[in-house]
Amino acid sequence: RPCPAGDPAMAQATVPLTKEPAPQAVPASDLPRKVYEVALNTGPDSSSGLATSGFRTAKYLPTEWHQSNSDLYHKAFAGCEQSEQGRAEAKELAKHAAAAAQHAQQASTASLGQRLKDIHFWKAELQREIEDLDAETGLLAAQKLRLERALGATELPYAIATDNLQCRERRQPPDLVSDEAEKELLKEADLIRNIQELLKRTLMQTVNQMRLNRDHKEVCERDWSDKVETYNIDDKCGRYSNQSTNVQFHPSSVKVEESASTPETWAKFSRDNISRAEREKMASVDLRALIDNILRDVSEDLRRQCDAVNQALAKRCQELDDAKHKLEHQLKQILMEIGDQEASIAALKQAIKDKEAPMKVAQTRLYDRAFRPNVELCRDEAQFGLISEVEELTESIDSLKKKLLESEQSLRNLEDTRMNLEKEIAVKTNSIFIDRQKCVAHRTHYPTVVRLAGYQ
């Protein structure tokens, strides 16, 4: 509700202050009573104070008549002189009163003019502060929008980091290791969470600062509005003159309100409002600079960590490629060795089979010679040679069978190795697919520095 015109005390009372107003420097006191001059009655109908002698029962004497006329003449003459002197004094008093009234009116008009200058000065200062606060609040609102965009832009990197970690959990042993890429991904996820918390706190601080800016702007606007109303009132008062038709008596207007402010408290009120608004404006400027630094550091940190993760994944993919190539080379060697071993086993079996005929011949000879009659059953050189032949054949067959067993076991070992190599190659292929096709390909959608800084 607007304050009554010309009442700065009421204007001050409607403005919310953070502390109690300062006491008045000049103590309140009763104004001296105005001395009213009594106008002398010098008109043509004024009385000259003729004396009456009352009623008499006898006639006057001539001497008494002449004396009465003489007294009347003297009294008339004295009354004229006294009246002329009173008229002169009244004229001088009226002239002095007119000059005093004119001087007082001129002084009041000059005082009102000086007051208008003071009001205009503080009104201009308040208007400048209001415009500065409004512009600063607009700039801070733009920074708030950047914070909101940057906070929204962190959702995609966090989703990428968590998706990469989940995808890498599908690696198969022994590739399910806590390698450098996983450490960098965990570091990236923690960094993004910390950045989101920082941006949220900064956003809340920005909202509070914008509210403070608007509150102090409203205080300055109320003060400015009161100044405008007061300026219009004093300007109207300064334009009043003796020829004005819209003036009238207001006997009760000379009363001074007890709650009225003094010029010192009046100026201090606006000065304090401007000072508080200036402090909030500087705090807003500092906050905008802080937001710039935060967004720049945040975007750089995120891109730096993104590059570190990309390098770690690229290095891991290269290690997996090298390991896979080595395993494929070893698998090729194993397959060749398996083929050679199978051929060797077949040769050993054939060699054992080839010894069956000589063994049959030698054993048949010994068997038939065991039927020689009487003394012919002689342990001659031929007998010892056949026995030695059978023993040699038996030993050779045993050696071949032993070697065959060893070769077959070696073949089984080679087959197991081949299976392990093929399984490991499949594991490496899966790991390469996860890191390269899932993680690295997904990270190509990582936001740019401009987007992370809140410009888009």
Task: Tell whether 95 is covered by a domain.
Answer: no
Q: How many CB atoms lie within 10 A of CB 421?
A: 20
pLDDT score of 165: 93
370 and 282 in a single domain? The answer is no
pLDDT score of 415: 93
Q: How many CB atoms lie within 10 A of CB 318?
A: 11
Task: Tell whether 227 is covered by a domain.
Answer: yes
pLDDT score of 7: 43
pLDDT score of 219: 94
Determine the angle formed by the axes of helices 155-168 and 62-153, rounding to 10 degrees.
20
pLDDT score of 335: 94
Task: Tell whether 83 is covered by a domain.
Answer: no
pLDDT tens for the chain, residues 1 to 456: 344 444 443 333 333 434 444 444 445 445 445 444 444 444 544 444 444 444 445 677 888 888 888 988 899 989 899 989 988 999 999 999 989 988 998 998 899 899 999 999 999 999 999 999 999 999 999 999 999 999 999 999 999 999 999 999 998 988 898 889 999 999 999 999 999 999 999 999 999 999 999 999 999 999 999 999 999 998 998 888 888 888 888 887 777 777 788 889 999 999 999 999 999 999 999 999 999 999 999 999 999 999 999 999 999 999 999 999 999 999 999 999 999 999 999 999 999 999 889 889 988 988 888 888 888 888 888 888 989 989 999 999 999 999 999 999 999 999 999 999 999 999 999 999 999 998 998 888 888 888 888 887
Task: Tell whether 88 is covered by a domain.
Answer: no
295 and 419 in a single domain? The answer is no
Q: What is the number of structural domains in the chain?
A: 2
409 and 440 in a single domain? The answer is yes
300 and 413 in a single domain? The answer is no
In the listed set 294, 316, 338, which residue is the last one of a domain according to the structure? Answer: 316
229 and 305 in a single domain? The answer is yes
143 and 278 in a single domain? The answer is yes
Q: Concatenate the DSSP letters of all residues of 381-440 into one string.
A: HHHHHHHHHHHHHHHHHHHHHHHHHHHHHHHHHHHHHHHHHHHHHHHHHHHHIIIIIIII
163 and 234 in a single domain? The answer is yes
pLDDT score of 249: 82
User: Residue 124 sits in which domain range?
Assistant: 106-241+262-316
pLDDT score of 258: 75
pLDDT tens sequence across 241-251: 888 888 888 88
CA distances from 75 to 46, 61, 67, 82, 330 (A): 14, 20, 12, 10, 158
Residue 389 carries which side chain, given as an amino acid letter?
E
123 and 235 in a single domain? The answer is yes
The first and second tokens of residue 291, run together, are 């937001």
Using an 8 Å Cβ cutoff, are 8 and 261 in contact? yes
Task: Tell whether 61 is covered by a domain.
Answer: no
295 and 341 in a single domain? The answer is no
190 and 291 in a single domain? The answer is yes
Using an 8 Å Cβ cutoff, are 407 and 341 in contact? yes
pLDDT tens sequence across 128-154: 999 999 999 999 999 999 999 999 999
Backbone phi and psi for residue 63, each to the nearest 5 degrees, phi listed first: -60, -40
pLDDT score of 195: 94
Task: Tell whether 226 is covered by a domain.
Answer: yes
**Per the confidence metrics, is the pTM higher than 0.95?**
no
pLDDT score of 34: 45
Is the peptide bond preceding residue 263 cis, with omega within 30 degrees of 0? no
Give the CATH number, domain containing residue 181.
Answer: 1.10.287
